[in-house]
Chains A and B, each alone.
Chain A
Amino acid sequence: MATATPATPVTPAAPAAPGPASRPLRRILGRASWTAGAWLAALVFFFPVLWMVLTAFKQEADAYTTTPHLVFSPTLAQFRAVFHSGIGPYLANSALATVLSTLLVLVLGIPAGYALSIRSVRKWRDALFFFISTKMLPVVAAIVPIYLAVRDIGALDNIGTLIVLYTAMNLPIAVWMLRSFFLEVPVEVLEAARVDGVTLRQEITRVMLPMVAPGIAATALICVIFSWNEFFFALNLTSVRAATMPVFLVGFMTSEGLYWAKLAAAATLACLPVLLAGWIAQKQLVRGLSMGAVK
């Protein structure tokens, strides 16, 4: 305390002015600076997105001004151009690869997660480590053998190839995530179900899955995001028929002419489905990602 107690307690009613008054002030200032810092960080992270969206509504000429204009007359011309440049097949390919690979991941990952958590198989630690070890190799290092293999079986530029690869790519993470969600299921509830008469399949589908729905939603969303945004395989293994949205975006980068605004418009469109999926899964997701899947 900064103010010492006066030796003469003559004025007990007088408020000890600086001490108690300065403390709330300091607390308010402290809180304000944290808030300001958080806003600043948020803006830094959000700025590229903002810039992308703004640029998407600009004319190409406006997009290239050295001091970016925040005030301009918005136009939908770029979006129109994007739609006219044949976005359809790319969108369809992306959607197909994303949805099917995510479904496959769940169909394979849920039993795997179950076998690694609730009824753990022998050597489950090794299995778990094996799954994650497949993610340790950089994709670049594996692309040549993958390319050769895919070429030799005649599966280049085939959406099925991407579905298989995306499933393989996401499965390890999905198994890890699902397993951690399943571990939170109270075993007694599953035992009660077994006594009540469930078969193994019913135990999973009718008792366990409803309890870990948020976790499933979170896992599915992660898979959707990863598959939707996947670029490297798509670029190297597809050309015309099976190309996905990220490949479509790259197509706008030309060596001559202006393309920033069009690219921004296409990128904005590419972001929308994931954003939408996240928004739909939002309620489940917060519970899922915070690991409180089952209480």
Chain B
Amino acid sequence: MAEVRYAEASRAYPGTPPVVAVDSLELTVADGEFLVLVGPSGSGKTTALRMLAGLEEVTSGHITIGGRDVTHVPPRDRDIAMVFQSYALYPHMTVAQNMGFALKLRGMPKETIAERVTEAARLLDLEKYLDRKPKALSGGQRQRVAMGRAIVREPSVFLMDEPLSNLDAKLRVETRANIAALQSRLGTTTVYVTHDQVEAMTMGHRVAVLKDAVLQQCDTPRTLYERPTNVFVAGFIGSPAMNLYTVPVDEHGARLGDLVVPVRRDAAAGLATVTVGVRPEALCLVGADEDGFKLAVELVEELGADAYVHGRARLADEEQRVVVRVDPRDPPAIGQTVRIGVRDHGEVHLFHPDSGERLHS
């Protein structure tokens, strides 16, 4: 168990100009914490994880594990265990040998290895498969073997690189819960990479959002959702995504068509436009006499508990797509024009139109 710290850690690939995959990452993962690195492809999340594993060179800055500087320490001396996206099992070894390999390399007595492997196999429901080779296992079983290989090590840190992306949807949801439960039981510091924001939100104690090699925000899922630090995080976290529009602002507020959203004077001081972000659930259908803007309904998604109305509205002289969550018992019909208002002005996010940074604290 250990704290992990990236101190201004960068990874640049030589070239003209050099390609920076991770740019001065400053991030601390507390002892026992489950931290998720999330971002679109090319954001540097996997590179950041591989830097921690020692599989990727750190070109500047430092990485420490449990206070020890491991920046230039080879992977085998970092006391970490990693689960790969492809599982990377040893094809020529049985499940038991796969799980015990690291312990064998450390010269552990056979009985201890067998004991630990059996224990992990029991935990992961793999006891029946210990003598099988990986090729005789299903995808879900292979994934569990990869987990088992990490667990038997009893490392200071677990590293997981999109371990669920090769599973089918149902198994993924199941395994997601299992991994989170396992981690909280073992209490091992975990860094988990995914591109799936639902995975990030449901599993992480904290979530670090990366984009273009730069850390955007690192916070609890709830804070990320409620107080995104910039337009990118606002749009990336949440499904369906937040509605984001750049609209004119004056002393009354920001103008979403006919709807005026009050804006604190100091927040938008000196700006002619402002980027407004409203989550689908912060919008609602309103009556003709209430404040709102007109929306032409194009699609209604009924998900059972919720229904989402997709439509087009004229905002700031442009056709914009809008998504609104509505009561699934009474959704509007396709082709209908409805009036949309804001449920609570407190749930409207304001961002700088150029920098995309969050306005008002």
- Residues of A participating in the B interface, judged by any CB pair closer than 8 Å: 186, 188-189, 191-199, 202, 207, 210-211, 294-295
Per-residue contact bits, chain B 67-86, to A (CB 8 Å; 1 contact, 0 not)? 00000001110101110111
* Chain A residue with Cβ nearest B55: A191
Chain A residues near B75 (CB-CB < 8 A): 191, 194-195
* Chain B residue with Cβ nearest A213: B92
A210–B92 CB distance below 8 A: yes
A191 to B86, CA, bound (A): 12
A147 to B198, CA, bound (A): 73
Known interface pairs A191-B55, A192-B82. Does A197 touch B102 (Cβ–Cβ under 8 Å)? yes
A194 to B54, CA, bound (A): 9
B105–A195 CB distance below 8 A: no
Chain A residues near B92 (CB-CB < 8 A): 210-211
The contact of A192 among B54, B74, B84, B105, by CB within 8 Å, is: B84
Which of A191, A198, A199, A294 has its CB near the most chain B CB atoms (within 10 A)?
A: A191
Tell yes or no: B89 within 8 A of A by CB.
yes
Tell yes or no: B91 within 8 A of A by CB.
yes
A58 to B85, CA, bound (A): 65
* Chain B residue with Cβ nearest A209: B92
A188–B106 CB distance below 8 A: no
A194 to B84, CA, bound (A): 13
A198–B80 CB distance below 8 A: no
Q: With both chains docked as a complex, state the minimum distance between the C-beta of B79 and any C-beta of chain A, in angstroms.
A: 10
A197 to B149, CA, bound (A): 12
Which of A192, A194, A197, A211 has its CB near the most chain B CB atoms (within 10 A)?
A: A192
B81–A195 CB distance below 8 A: yes
A191–B88 CB distance below 8 A: yes
A188–B86 CB distance below 8 A: yes
Q: Which 8 A-B pairs have the closest CB atoms?
A: A188-B88, A196-B102, A192-B88, A197-B76, A210-B92, A197-B105, A194-B75, A189-B88
A193 to B149, CA, bound (A): 11
B76–A194 CB distance below 8 A: yes
A196–B55 CB distance below 8 A: no
Chain B residues near A192 (CB-CB < 8 A): 82, 84, 88-90, 149
A198–B89 CB distance below 8 A: no
Tell yes or no: B48 within 8 A of A by CB.
no
Chain A residues near B88 (CB-CB < 8 A): 186, 188-189, 191-192
A202 to B92, CA, bound (A): 15
The contact of A188 among B74, B84, B149, by CB within 8 Å, is: B84
Chain B residues near A202 (CB-CB < 8 A): 105
Inter-chain pairs besides A191-B84, A198-B105, 15 sampled, C-beta below 8 Å: A188-B85, A189-B88, A191-B82, A192-B82, A192-B89, A192-B90, A193-B101, A195-B55, A195-B159, A196-B105, A196-B149, A197-B102, A207-B90, A211-B92, A295-B91
Q: With both chains docked as a complex, state the minimum distance between the C-beta of A289 and any C-beta of chain B, in angstroms.
A: 20
* Chain B residue with Cβ nearest A207: B90
A197 to B74, CA, bound (A): 9
Chain B residues near A189 (CB-CB < 8 A): 88-91
B82–A195 CB distance below 8 A: yes
A293 to B84, CA, bound (A): 22
A163 to B158, CA, bound (A): 50
Which of A189, A191, A195 has its CB near the most chain B CB atoms (within 10 A)?
A: A195
A188 to B91, CA, bound (A): 12
Among B98-141, those with CB < 8 Å from A are 101-102, 105-106, 135
A186 to B88, CA, bound (A): 8
A196 to B106, CA, bound (A): 9
* Chain B residue with Cβ nearest A210: B92
A47 to B82, CA, bound (A): 58
A197 to B78, CA, bound (A): 9
Known interface pairs A189-B91, A191-B84, A192-B88. Does A198 touch B55 (Cβ–Cβ under 8 Å)? no
* Chain B residue with Cβ nearest A199: B76
List 12 A-B pairs, Cβ < 8 Å: A188-B84, A188-B88, A189-B88, A192-B84, A193-B90, A194-B54, A194-B55, A194-B76, A196-B149, A198-B105, A207-B90, A210-B92
Q: With both chains docked as a complex, state the minimum distance between the C-beta of A247 and any C-beta of chain B, in angstroms.
A: 42
Chain B residues near A210 (CB-CB < 8 A): 92
Chain B residues near A211 (CB-CB < 8 A): 90-92
A295 to B106, CA, bound (A): 29
Among B39-80, those with CB < 8 Å from A are 53-55, 74-76, 78, 80
A210 to B94, CA, bound (A): 13
Q: With both chains docked as a complex, state the minimum distance between the C-beta of A106 and any C-beta of chain B, in angstroms.
A: 18
Chain B residues near A199 (CB-CB < 8 A): 76
Q: With both chains docked as a complex, state the minimum distance between the C-beta of A279 and any C-beta of chain B, in angstroms.
A: 24
A199 to B82, CA, bound (A): 17
Q: With both chains docked as a complex, state the minimum distance between the C-beta of B155 and any C-beta of chain A, in angstroms.
A: 9
Which of B76, B82, B89 has its CB near the most chain A CB atoms (within 10 A)?
A: B76
Chain A residues near B90 (CB-CB < 8 A): 189, 192-193, 207, 211
A28 to B88, CA, bound (A): 47
Chain B residues near A197 (CB-CB < 8 A): 76, 102, 105-106
A191 to B81, CA, bound (A): 11
Q: With both chains docked as a complex, state the minimum distance between the C-beta of B359 and any C-beta of chain A, in angstroms.
A: 44
* Chain B residue with Cβ nearest A187: B88
Chain B residues near A198 (CB-CB < 8 A): 76, 105
Q: With both chains docked as a complex, state the minimum distance between the C-beta of A116 and any C-beta of chain B, in angstroms.
A: 20
Chain A residues near B91 (CB-CB < 8 A): 189, 211, 294-295
